[in-house]
């Protein structure tokens, strides 16, 4: 802290220099945040989409790796035709995951849904001639943070997802 000769003013050049440094660092951070937004790391961009396939290759899930709270999102689940039984297949989502999301729509609509040990199982019918049926879940997250889920196909093939939900 220094008093400027003749002026009743206390300037603090040491603080001021540190402040300039912090300002530079802050601007750099803003630029990084801007880039992250552009790339989709903060949701809604090229890097925000992820996909995961089950070990046996029967289930392919495309999902938002980075999502935003209370913002519409969608997840598509593509099933290999060989996984259908009598024109049916089932997808199970953990209830802990469903607690964190608000599902607004499922296309096509499941023919039935039931609760099983920690999971909600959705049963789907497959139309004739469809080789790779796809189900789209439209939803939005109700909670910010990290959401993880294990999607099961016919209670066999499984895909693990981890999503970051920005507030």
Which of 80, 103, 45 is closest to 154 using CA atoms? 80
In the complex, least distance from residue 105 CB atom to other proteins, rounded to whole angstroms: 19
Stretch that binds other proteins, among 25-33, 55-63, 79-87, 104-112 (CB under 8 A): 25-33
CA distance 94 to 38: 32
Element of type H or E holding 15: helix 13-39
Q: Does 81 bind other proteins (CB under 8 A)?
A: no
Q: Does 49 bind other proteins (CB under 8 A)?
A: no
Residue 78 near residue 134 (C-beta atoms within 8 A): yes
At 23 the three-state DSSP class reads helix
Q: Site for other proteins (CB under 8 A): which residue of 4, 115, 117, 128?
A: 4
Question: Looking at beta carbons only, is 12 or 99 nearer to other proteins?
Answer: 12
Please state the separation of Cα 21 from the chain's center in Å: 35
Q: Does 104 bind other proteins (CB under 8 A)?
A: no
Q: Does 56 bind other proteins (CB under 8 A)?
A: no
Q: Site for other proteins (CB under 8 A): which residue of 56, 70, 116, 155?
A: 70
First to last CA, the chain: 40
In the complex, least distance from residue 9 CB atom to other proteins, rounded to whole angstroms: 6
Half-sphere CA count of 40, side-chain side, radius 13 A:
11
The residues of the shown chain that bind other proteins, judged by CB under 8 A, are 4-7, 9-12, 15-16, 19-20, 22-23, 26-27, 29-30, 70, 167
């Amino acid at each position: 802290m220094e008093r400027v000769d003749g002026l009743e003013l206390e300037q603090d050049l040491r603080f001021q220099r540190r402040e300039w440094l912090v300002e530079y660092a802050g601007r750099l951070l803003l630029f990084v945040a801007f880039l992250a937004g552009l790339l989709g790391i903060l949701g809604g961009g090229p890097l925000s989409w992820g996909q995961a396939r089950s070990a046996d290759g029967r289930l392919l899930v495309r999902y938002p790796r980075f999502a935003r709270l209370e913002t519409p999102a969608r997840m598509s689940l593509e099933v290999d035709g060989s996984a259908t039984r009598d024109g049916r297949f089932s997808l199970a989502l953990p209830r802990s995951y469903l607690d964190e999301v608000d599902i607004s729509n499922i296309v096509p609509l499941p023919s039935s849904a039931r609760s099983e040990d920690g999971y909600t199982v959705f049963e789907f019918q497959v139309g004739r001639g469809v080789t790779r049926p796809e189900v789209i879940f439209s939803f939005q997250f109700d909670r910010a943070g990290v959401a993880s889920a294990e999607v099961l196909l016919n209670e066999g093939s499984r895909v693990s997802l981890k999503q970051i939900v920005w507030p």
